[in-house]
Amino acid sequence: MNAAAKNSPRTGSLPASLAYAEAFVAESEPSRVARRKASGLGLASISGGVAAALTLLTKTLSAKAVVEIGTGTGVSGLALFAGMVADGVLTSIDSESENQAAAREAFSEAAVPSRRIRLIAGQALNVLPKLSDGAYDVVFVNGDPLEYVEYVAQAERLLRPGGLLLLHHALWEGKVADEQNSDDEPLIVREALEAVQDSGLFTAALLPVGDGLLVAVRD
Ligand SMILES: C[S@@+](CC[C@H](N)C(=O)[O-])C[C@H]1O[C@@H](n2cnc3c(N)ncnc32)[C@H](O)[C@@H]1O
């Protein structure tokens, strides 16, 4: 095989490569437990690859103040805490207090001090407007996909210059890329991605990790 063929993305099995990439960083025991609880509650959690990306990005930024929309049982929160500075605070919003109770257990299991955890039970679109302008290093979006356009608008306001918008499910089960697909979720996710592109406020990359992770830095 010549060097060009060896480096071609078409060489070998793409599904096997993606599975390899997803499992590249080992998952912690508290994260495994939180993932199992999520399954029991019928909730989806971020994949191992997305978790690794969240930790990497928050660590690169030395993130101190992070907003999460969609706490779930804490799989993504654990990944964010793993990258944040030692006294960083995660503000995480979820409409279901049962999910947040499971997340609190996961954070306790991982020995995250309670002063670093700010869990807010409520509808994201009621809570987000109460958070301060330009005060956050990262906004991670994993709540109601039908509200993604509004979440992007809130992130524009909440992020400091140089802060990161991380939007999960950016490829929504492979349906966002299919422009003929007009299901509600992919339609709204597509609109949210276009809002980021058209705002002129972000420099973005769409990573094909997990179900798709939009990474956009606030200019
Ligand atoms: C996919 S789960 C989040 C999973 C979590 N990020 C993780 O990986 O561990 C989505 C969560 O968003 C919450 N949610 C859905 N709609 C919401 C809304 N409008 N406001 C706040 N939370 C919402 C759900 O209760 C659920 O816990």
ipTM of the complex: 0.99
Classify 128 as helix, strand or coil: helix
Is the beta carbon of 145 within 6 A of some atom in ligand 1? no
Type of residue at 128: L
Query: CB burial class (10 A; 0-12, 13-18, 19+) of residue 85?
Result: middle
Is the beta carbon of 44 within 6 A of some atom in ligand 1? yes
Q: Give the nearest ligand 1 atom to 147 CA.
A: 19
d(CA 68, ligand 1 centre) in Å? 9
**Which element (helix H / strand E) includes 151?**
helix 148-158
Residue 181: pLDDT band (50, 70, 90) is very high
> What does the chain come to in residues?
219
Type of residue at 175: K
- What is the model's pLDDT at position 2? 40
Is the beta carbon of 72 within 6 A of some atom in ligand 1? yes
d(CA 183, ligand 1 centre) in Å? 20
Is the beta carbon of 147 within 6 A of some atom in ligand 1? yes
Q: Using one digit for the tens of pLDDT, what is the confidence trace for 27-48?
A: 999 999 999 999 999 999 999 9
- Does pLDDT of 127 surpass 90? yes
d(CA 94, ligand 1 centre) in Å? 6
- What is the model's pLDDT at position 12? 80
Type of residue at 168: H
**Tokens 């089960």 belong to which residue?**
173
Classify 179 as helix, strand or coil: coil
Q: Give the nearest ligand 1 atom to 140 CA.
A: 6
Q: Using one digit for the tens of pLDDT, what is the confidence trace for 77-124?
A: 999 999 999 999 999 999 999 999 999 999 999 999 999 999 999 999
Is the beta carbon of 58 within 6 A of some atom in ligand 1? no
Q: Give the nearest ligand 1 atom to 103 CA.
A: 9
Phi, psi (deg, nearest 5) at residue 216 = -140, 125
Spell out the domains of the chain, with CATH numbers in brackets. 12-218 (3.40.50.150)
Mean per-residue pLDDT for 152-176?
A: 98
pTM over cut 0.90: yes
Residue 3: pLDDT band (50, 70, 90) is very low
Residue 11: pLDDT band (50, 70, 90) is low
Express as a percent the part of the chain with pLDDT over 70: 95
Longest dimension (CA), the chain: 58
| Sequential DSSP letters for 39-107 | HHTT-----HHHHHHHHHHHHHTT--EEEEE--TTSHHHHHHHHHS-TT-EEEEEES-HHHHHHHHHHH
